[in-house]
């Protein structure tokens, strides 16, 4: 599984520019699904058919990642940029980004006079080695993702973009293991989550599911001086009750918990004060869906060293298979 993780987390795919990700994921899922399509926004929508006795279930894991977009090229060939999704200025200095055409740039910042303050994004720039606007290999409107290789440290897995390629891995592995299901399960590899869960909204509007489950990362409360949060790395799949964008369907939460308990899958309950997932869009699309989320606990979310625990990833896969292989009564 680590090979698949490495392949997905290191790949390029800022929000809105997920074509490459789609090409990577498609062959992984093709043998296991009955139907496959791509919608107008670029969501990869796959269907594994049920036996007709179940519900219409949408599983969403987003392919996109946070990144940057060029807004201006200076006379000297440096690129000013804006954020795609939740890119914070902390720790940008010295990091590397890669554009769709393979060009890699380094991020620098304007002179710092007061070291107790952090420059805003607008005082950072990308250096791609150009000397003028004319010889610059990228243009205004071009998007880049961060560059950072995957590595393992015992059971800890670290890379950029665990958010949410690890969710894609959970979906793919669950799909491989799911032999039969009563439900029509739409595994959606969604786009534009980081800019406001937009892809899942369009997909859910098109699919109109009864039940929606997002697979995404959540922050943990097990590192020094962090905000209060009951989720810890290595303690199992996190079953989301609430985040700042939605309250999960109470019946679905109960069902997830019962299935985890019955099958002895390590799990923990999640209440998240900041952030949300594709589930919020699925919940409100059309006539609404019973929505919930299985979260993969992750440290340092939206940094270039997002870290998850191999046992948690496995627990999330186990829990998803457990839910999908049996009837869902809410």
Partner 1 sequence: MKTFKLLQTLSETAGPSGLEHEIADVVADVWQPYVDTITRDRVGNLIAIKYGEGPEPRPRILLAAHMDEIALMVKQILSHQGNGFLRVTNVGGVDVRHLYGQTVVVHGKRALPGVLGSLPPHMLPPDRQDRPFGYEELVVDVGLSLAEVETAVSVGDFISFRQPLRKLQGKQVTGKALDNRASLTAVTLCLEYLQKRAHTWDVIAVATCQEETRLLGAYASAHSQRPDTAVAIDVTFGKGPGANGENVFDLGDGPVLDIGPNVHPGMFNALKDAAKALEMKVHVGTHNRASGTDAFGLQIARDGIPTGLVSIPLRYMHTMVEVVDLTDLERSGRLLGEFIARLDDKFLQTLSDGMMEKGDSKR
Partner 2 sequence: MNELLKNLTEVDGVSGDEKEVRLLIRDLIADHVDEWHVDSLGNLLATKKGTGATNMCVLVDAHMDEVGLMVTEIGSDGMLKFAPVGGFNPLALLGKVVQIGAKKITGVIGAKPIHLLSGSERDRVVQTDAMRIDIGAKSKEAAASKVTIGDRAAFITEYEELGKTALGKAFDNRAGCAALIELLRAKPFSFDLCAAFTVQEEVGLRGAQVAAYAVKPDAALVLESTPAYDLPNEEDASSNVALGKGPSIYVMDRGTIQDPRLVAHITRTAAARGIPYQLRQPGGGGTNTASIQRVLGGIPAATIAVPGRYAHTPTMMINLDDYANVVRLAEATLRDLTPELVNRKW
Nearer to partner 2, 206 or 245 (CB): 206
Using DSSP bridges, classify how beta strands 237-242 and 267-271 pair: parallel, antiparallel or unpaired: parallel
For residue 270, the minimal CB distance to partner 1 (Å) is: 7
Partner that binds at residue 248, options partner 2, partner 1, none, CB closer than 5 to 8 Å by kind: partner 1
Contacts of 95 (CB under 8 A, 6+ apart): 106, 107, 146, 147, 148, 304
Distance CA 186, CA 207 (A): 8
Binder among 34, 49, 74, 132 for partner 2 (CB under 8 A): 74
Distances (CA, A) of 117 to 122, 186, 319: 14, 47, 44
Q: Which residues pair with 145 in a beta bridge?
A: 98
Nearer to partner 2, 208 or 273 (CB): 208
Least distance (Å) from partner 2 to the CB of residue 64?
10
Decide if residue 261 touches partner 1 (CB under 8 A): no
Is there binding between residue 221 and partner 1 (CB under 8 A)? yes
Determine the Cα–Cα distance for residues 304 and 91; give it in Å rounded to an integer: 9
Q: Is 33 in the site for partner 2 (CB under 8 A)?
A: no
Among 7, 80, 119, 155, binds partner 2 (CB under 8 A): 80
In what helix (H) or strand (E) does residue 259 lie, and over which residues does it extend?
Answer: helix 250-262
Choose the contact partner of 269 out of partner 2, partner 1, none; CB within 5 to 8 A by kind: partner 1
Task: Work out whether 327 is an interface residue with partner 1 (CB under 8 A).
Answer: no
For 273, the token pair is 């004060």
Binding partner of residue 287 among partner 2, partner 1, none, CB cut-off 5 to 8 Å per kind? partner 1
Q: Pick what 168 binds: partner 2, partner 1, none; C-beta below 5 to 8 Å, kind-dependent.
A: none
Three-class secondary structure of residue 120 per DSSP: coil
Q: How many CB atoms lie within 10 A of CB 271?
A: 15
**Nearest residue to 269 via CA among 290, 246, 242, 305:** 242
Q: Is 228 in the site for partner 1 (CB under 8 A)?
A: yes
> Can residue 247 be called a binding residue for partner 1 (CB under 8 A)?
yes
Say which of 28, 65, 173, 193 is annotated catalytic.
193
**Cα–Cα distance between 312 and 166 in angstroms, integer?**
11
* Distance (Å, whole) CA 20 – CA 169: 16
Region from 131-139, 174-182, 285-293, 304-312 binding partner 1, contact rule CB under 8 A: 285-293
Cα Rg for the chain, rounded, in angstroms?
Answer: 20
Residue 86 vs 221, nearer CB to partner 1: 221
Q: Which of 2, 34, 49, 71 binds partner 2 (CB under 8 A)?
A: 71
If binding is defined by CB under 8 A, does position 223 make contact with partner 1?
A: no
Q: Give every strand in the sheet of 156-159, ordered side by side.
A: 151-153, 156-159, 306-309
In the complex, minimum distance from the CB of residue 139 to partner 2, in angstroms, rounded to a whole number: 8
105 binds partner 2 (CB under 8 A): no
Residue closer to partner 2, measured from CB, 78 or 146: 78
**198 near partner 2 (CB under 8 A):** yes
Nearest residue (CB) to partner 1, 147 versus 266: 266
110/121 Cα distance (integer angstroms)? 10
Is 127 within 8 Å of 32 (Cβ atoms)? no
CB 324 within 8 A of CB 176: no
Task: Look up 306 and say whether it is catalytic.
Answer: no
Write out the catalytic residue numbers: 193
The residues binding partner 1 (CB under 8 A) are 210-211, 221, 228-230, 239, 241-242, 245-250, 253, 268-271, 273, 280, 283-284, 286-290, 330
């Amino acid at each position: 599984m680590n090979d698949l993780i490495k392949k997905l987390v290191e790949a390029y795919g800022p929000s809105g520019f997920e074509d490459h990700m789609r090409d990577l994921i498609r062959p992984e899922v093709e043998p296991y699904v009955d139907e496959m399509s791509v919608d107008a926004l670029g969501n990869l929508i796959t269907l594994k058919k049920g036996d007709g006795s179940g519900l219409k279930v949408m599983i969403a894991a987003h392919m996109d990642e946070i990144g940057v977009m060029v807004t201006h090229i200076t006379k000297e060939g440096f690129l000013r940029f804006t954020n795609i999704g939740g890119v914070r200025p902390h720790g940008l200095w010295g990091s590397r980004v890669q554009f769709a055409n393979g060009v890699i740039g380094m991020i620098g910042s304007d002179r710092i006079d007061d070291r107790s303050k952090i420059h805003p994004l607008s005082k950072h720039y990308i250096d791609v080695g150009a000397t003028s606007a004319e010889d610059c290999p990228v243009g205004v409107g071009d998007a880049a993702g961060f560059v950072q290789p995957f590595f393992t440290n015992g059971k800890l897995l670290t890379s950029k973009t665990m958010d949410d390629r690890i969710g894609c891995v959970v979906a793919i592995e669950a799909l491989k293991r799911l032999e039969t299901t009563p439900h029509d399960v739409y595994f959606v590899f969604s786009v534009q989550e980081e800019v406001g869960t937009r892809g899942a909204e369009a997909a859910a509007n098109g699919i109109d599911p009864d039940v929606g489950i997002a697979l995404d990362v959540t922050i943990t409360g097990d590192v020094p001086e962090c905000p209060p949060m009951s989720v810890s790395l290595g303690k199992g799949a996190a079953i989301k009750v609430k985040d700042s964008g939605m309250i999960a369907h109470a019946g679905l939460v109960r069902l997830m918990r019962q299935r985890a308990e019955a099958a002895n899958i390590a799990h923990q309950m999640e209440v998240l004060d900041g952030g949300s997932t594709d589930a919020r869009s699925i919940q409100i699309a059309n006539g609404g869906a019973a929505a919930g989320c299985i979260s993969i606990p992750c440290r340092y979310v939206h940094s270039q060293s997002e870290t998850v625990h191999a046992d948690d990833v496995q627990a999330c896969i186990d829990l998803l298979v457990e839910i999908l292989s049996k009837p869902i009564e809410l």
